[in-house]
Structure 1
Amino acid sequence: MSLDTVVEDIRDEARARAEEIRADADERAEEIVSEAEADAESIREEREAEVEREISQEREQRLSSAKLEAKQARLGARRDVLEDVHEDVEGAIAGLEGDRREELTRALLDAAVDEFDDGADLRVHGRSDDESLIEDILTEYDDATFAGTRDCLGGVVVESEASRVRVDNTFDSVLESVWEDNLKAISDRLFEDQ
């Protein structure tokens, strides 16, 4: 065997070994690329799922917010309608005239006077438009006098200096009491279809 042959055998072996190393490296590179592509796909899928969750969460938040806004708007509209009804009732009460106004004023005055001891000097206040009506009714009472006007829809406020008691039997106070006691029923009736 000549030296050239030995050199050629070593070269062939080196080439074969280099080819083997290159093949192993290519195979390993393909594995690394494949793993990287799989990792990238997994990361992309996770990110897409995360984005979908965020979108879904944002959608739910906006839907909840829109529902809340709609509910608040509906409640605001109901409150406005109730305020309008209350104002209409006040207007109807303020517009009472004649025998009906006298009957109600008399009943409120009687109920107020019953709250005081007999013989107490009573001062009665009422709406300025009702002054003559109240004074006419007061002629039936020995210890009660008209003491001035009050800004109200009607009725009376009766007070006694001796007992320091004040009874508010105005149409306003009766309306507010009845309104508060029946607000749910009024609302239910007005909005029964909703």
Structure 2
Amino acid sequence: MTDGRRARGEQRRAALVGAAVALVREGGPAAVSHRAVAARAGASLSATTYYFADLDELLAAAGAELAEQWAAHARAVAARERSSAAQALVDAVLPPGDDRVLRGHYEHLAGAGRLPALAGAYARGRAALDAAIAGLGLPWPTEVLVALVDGAALAALSEGRDVRAHAREVVARVV
């Protein structure tokens, strides 16, 4: 294969993964199908089966990309100057966006455990997220810090509160 063909193939594969990522974010893991990914990427249906052996492999690639994006976001937050530890932790754990984005984030995380390929990708990516959260320099285990923010966010979503404000308030009481 020539370098040009290889590059185009890598670009096409990345576009398919990007489409799967967008579908997971918008509609949860159940929204990902070969047909939906191909349509979203502007590719033929056969492209999804050419680049991915099955839907599990495609979901695993999307999960790995989602986990890396989440960790990259947390690393960027940890690298910035911050006004408070609570603000930094909430900003690092929660993805950017409004409450609609946050609701979608938690809905897709809850559904990920039903799909071994996606759950495995998230489990493998968790170390990078934990390392980024550890970069905040807080004296608690990273899994406790993430659970604190996740719990506050889910409580706010279920009670119709402003998610970020509620999470900051809860986290500030602890840190």
TM-score normalised by the chain length of structure 2: 0.24
Find the structure with the greater CA-based Rg: 1
Q: Which has the higher contact order (CA 8 A, sep 6+)?
A: 2
Structure with higher strand content: 1
TM-score normalised by the chain length of structure 1: 0.23
Structure with higher helix content: 2
